[in-house]
Chains A and B, each alone.
Chain A
Amino acid sequence: MPTTTTVPKATVATAISVRDLNVGVHGGESILKDVTFDLTPGRILALVGESGSGKTTAALACMNHLRSGLELRGGSVQLHKGASRFFDQNMDLLTLSEKQVRRLRGGTIAYVPQDPALSLNGALRVGEQIHEVLRIHEFGRNSKQREARVAEVLEEVGLPSTKKYQRRYPHQLSGGQQQRIGIAMAFACRPAVIILDEPTTGLDVATQDLVLKTVYELTTKHDVAGLYITHDLAVVAQVANDVAVMLRGEIVERGPAKQVLYRPEHEYTQTLLAAVPDLKGARDMGGGPAVSPRAAMRAPWDHGHDDAARPGEARTDRDRAASSVAQTSDNEPLLAVRDLRLAYGPAVILDGINLDLLEGQTTMLLGESGSGKTTLSRSIAGLNGAYTGEVRLAGQVLANGTRKRSNEDRRRIQYIFQSPFSSLNPRRSIGDSLEVPLEMSGGMSRKQRRAAVADALDAVRLGRSYINRRPGELSGGERQRAAVARALVNAPSVLVCDEITSALDVSVQASVIELLRELQRDRGLAMLFVTHNIALARHVSHKLAVLEKGHLVDYGPTDHVLRNPRHDYTKSLLEHVPTL
């Protein structure tokens, strides 16, 4: 350990204590209500909440930083004596002058932003960005010591420390490397407190795992007090010592991670936990037990459904799922992809894809961004006609591209888009948007179409009153339900769902999955469920297809693939995915 360490080890019990923090929109509603928590050296507190819960606002308030439009309405952020080398007494961060706060920011309290691509300065070399923070906070005696520290901290986060690497610009690094630069910047001055704002969003699981390990190591090793903001409870289980759960600006439950995650008391925490998908498939999620369960193991909080006392309904559900596999597996698949290949010039996006979709069954297409999973699902739906090979529907080869397919073919395969914020025209009512598929397939009067749309809205449990609303009046989950309804109005036989839960909060994700499972049971739909989240596999899919760089590297019944992954990529996914 270098002699420049400035944080006296474990001399303070608490680094920062936040008391009754209240923040609101200028002249409007409040964002934070009496938020109270402590940050302790060497421990990480995870602040968990869904979008809009105010978790980022709370974190930034710890640095006396409010985003524009927000105002402080009371509370205190006590920085305890000994936490900072600049002040030798307890002090309220919120009352400090701008200059005093500036000395603390980056030096004593460091921040790791959500999206490094936006937060690293594209015009400055990465080495300089780390060096800058050291210079400002007068870390080390001279430039030479600071340079040594830059190299040291780069190695601590697992990056090359060479001069050549330091001279790179952010755009010359990968997303994972950029985030590690952000972490290096935060740890550079050996801060007493570090605040991490969803630092793994947008990273693939392997990189996420690495970043989480780095963060955990650095905070515990250097006795740093950590505040980790996230919506992902599985990540919480990996890094956090303590957990505080936020709901609409209030902390509804707090405690040691083990207690909150495994013996949740507040109803909201229970709801959240129940919505978290589970790779083992041991718990119920999305309105019922896993489709492809592994074992009879259940989580302790998943009461009411343990094997002995399980209601018959759930049993039949599972039996039915199992039996339907047996039933249809030797029949001609409803939809068959044969030797599909797609290339733009020399860039091969998809190669040699063979995939079957069976009636009443779901196939999960798993892959990270850039693997070609969206291209494949769009080729099947006909949105991308540039492929070679065949897509067969009930034995008949479909034309490339929706416009070349017949009305009947278009009707039978429906595609649901990833983002419900983009897939509905904001200027048209839900009813008008949902009517389009019927209008184009023809044969119905306007009145009949309206009736069909109203039925579909009922089927997705939005209710027919939504028919005249505009997308802007709906929440994300409601919009995605409306988008599902649009795919249903035509009574399709194949549903292609392209990452349809990735833009949604976990609890909303669970309810959308519940809806899909219910629809599949009632209507015998064949589904292709595209996702990057392997944890959902057992909950939704009968078969699992893993796509990597345009090739199907693993394909088979979900349980089988998860237990005996053949390809290294699948193995690495299973190894790195965070679990509760």
Chain B
Amino acid sequence: MSAQNQQPVTPDTPVTPSAASFEPAESRGDARPVSFFRRFLSQPEAKFGLVLTGLVLLVAIAGPFVVPAWTGYGPTSYAGKPFQYDIFGTDNLGRDVLSRFLEGGWRLLLYSALATLLGVGLGTVLGMLAAFRGGWLDSVIMRTGDVLLAIPQLVFAMLAITVLGPQGWVLVVVIGVTHAPRVARVIRSATSGVVAEDYVLASQMYAVPQWKILGRDVVPNIMGPLMVEMGLRMTYSIGAVASLSFLGLGMQPPTADWGLMINENRIALSLQPWGVILPVVAIAVLTVGTNLIADAVSGASAGRVTGSARKDK
């Protein structure tokens, strides 16, 4: 959070060349742009987001390995009577809450990550194709996207689960597919901005193969919005997977899962809140973390440098 030890962007000493050197072709070598990563890290949101996300990641990934050693109970073994109240206590069936909490994060993360990759991947390819090829392909892709957008993500997922059942791959596919049109819109507009640039036309002029143009000229120049979408879609994926589990339509008992835990334990919220609070806090911290990262990325790709640059007027 300490922005003081960050390098100031604008040098304190004005870059005033000597009065005689008004040569037009004067080099601006000193104006080397601050690298994207540095701009990203220079923002307080980025540091916050990385710390929060890192914490939850650590719990979710390391959790399953330390469960028996730490608590003495596996995620599905019984630790005593229901709703005992010592260190985090037990759940409605008498299972140890801490063990289930430690065990219950990685599936959520895995499914969300897969759904995000699928959604952003699909959306990027379609969005780039739509902008790059244009014409009827553009119309077909974007109109199909409009149709998908008309059904809210959660409702669409529920429709699919009704028919196909609450299985992991269904969650991943359906959430990924519903992300795709939203990602495609963003990527399409970013790509059409790049395609309108003369350097793409120059590559066309030199008869560079289309795939090379995409790889060299287009993709590197849409990395900003692409990474923002990654962060944003990850936030929404986590929300969607957790929500579905919470509704009892995602992970099924007796799996240890944060969303499902909240569903199972919320009847006893006033009696034994830990079974709800632990997973809720974890999900909250995680989504806030990823959202902060997405915001910092978007700030960095828009050229924002440090938080301290936004001085009061």
Interface residues of A (CB under 8 A from B): 24-30, 50, 68, 247-248, 267-268, 271, 381-383, 402-403, 410, 415, 417-419, 422-428, 433, 436-437, 440, 461, 469-470, 472-475, 477-478, 481, 486, 505, 507-508, 510-511
Kindly state the separation between the CA atoms of A481 and B20 in the bound complex, as whole angstroms: 23
Number of interface residues of B (CB under 8 A): 35
Min CB–CB distance A475 → chain B (angstroms):
5
* Complex Cα gap A119–B14 (Å): 32
User: What CA separation (Å) do A461 and B14 show in the bound complex?
Assistant: 28
Cα–Cα, bound, A505→B10 (Å): 25
Please name the 7 residue pairs, one residue from A and one from B, whose CB atoms are nearest each other, closest first: A29-B14, A28-B10, A427-B220, A423-B198, A508-B24, A422-B198, A417-B198
Most chain B beta-carbon contacts within 10 A, residue among A25, A29, A50: A29
**Given the complex of chains A and B, what is the CA–CA distance between A291 and B97 in angstroms?**
88
- Asked if B207 and A473 make an inter-chain contact with CB atoms under 8 angstroms apart, the answer reads no
A328 to B217, CA, bound (A): 41
Candidates A28, A383, A426, A437; contact of B221 at CB < 8 Å: A426
Contact status of A437 and B20, CB under 8 A, knowing A29-B10, A422-B198, A472-B33: no
B163 contacts partner chain A, Cβ-Cβ < 8 Å: no
Chain B residues with Cβ below 8 Å from A440 are 206-208
A30 contact set on B, CB distance < 8 A: 14
Docked-complex contact B25 and A477, CB < 8 angstroms: yes
Closest B residue by C-beta to A480:
B25
How many residue pairs, one in A and one in B, have C-beta atoms under 8 Å apart?
107
Query: In this assembly, does B197 line the interface, its C-beta being within 8 Å of a C-beta of chain A?
Result: yes
Q: Which residues of A contact B20 (CB under 8 A)?
A: 267
Is B2 interfacial (CB 8 A cutoff)? no
B133 close to A (CB within 8 Å): no
Residue positions of B touching A, CB distance < 8 A: 8, 10-12, 14-16, 20, 22, 24-29, 31-33, 197-199, 201-208, 216-217, 220-221, 311, 313
- Are A415 and B205 neighbours in the complex by a CB distance under 8 Å? yes
A-B contact pairs, 30 of them (CB 8 A): A24-B14, A27-B311, A28-B11, A29-B10, A29-B11, A29-B15, A383-B205, A417-B198, A417-B201, A417-B202, A419-B198, A422-B198, A423-B199, A425-B217, A427-B220, A427-B221, A428-B220, A436-B202, A436-B208, A440-B207, A469-B29, A472-B31, A473-B29, A475-B24, A477-B24, A478-B28, A481-B25, A507-B24, A510-B24, A511-B25
B207 in contact with A410 (CB, 8 Å): yes
Q: Is the CB of B206 within 8 A of A25?
A: no
Asked if A473 and B16 make an inter-chain contact with CB atoms under 8 angstroms apart, the answer reads no
Chain B residues lying within 8 Å of A505, measured Cβ to Cβ, are 24
Please give the distance in Å from A264's CB to the nearest CB on chain B: 14
Looking at the assembled complex, report how far the CB atom of B197 sits from the nearest CB atom of chain A, in whole angstroms: 5
Question: Which residue of B10, B206, B217 has the most chain A CB atoms within 10 A of its CB atom?
Answer: B206
CA distance A433 to B11 in the complex (A): 30
A247 and B10: CB pair below 8 A?
no
Question: Which residues on the B side are within 8 Å of A68 (C-beta)?
Answer: 313
Cα-based distance from A433 to B31 in the complex (angstroms):
20
- With both chains docked as a complex, state the minimum distance between the C-beta of A388 and any C-beta of chain B, in angstroms: 21
Enumerate chain B residues within 8 angstroms of A26, measured Cβ to Cβ: 311
Chain B residues whose CB sits within 8 angstroms of the CB of A418 once the complex forms: 198
In the bound complex, do residue B311 and residue A437 qualify as a contact, i.e. CB atoms below 8 Å apart?
A: no
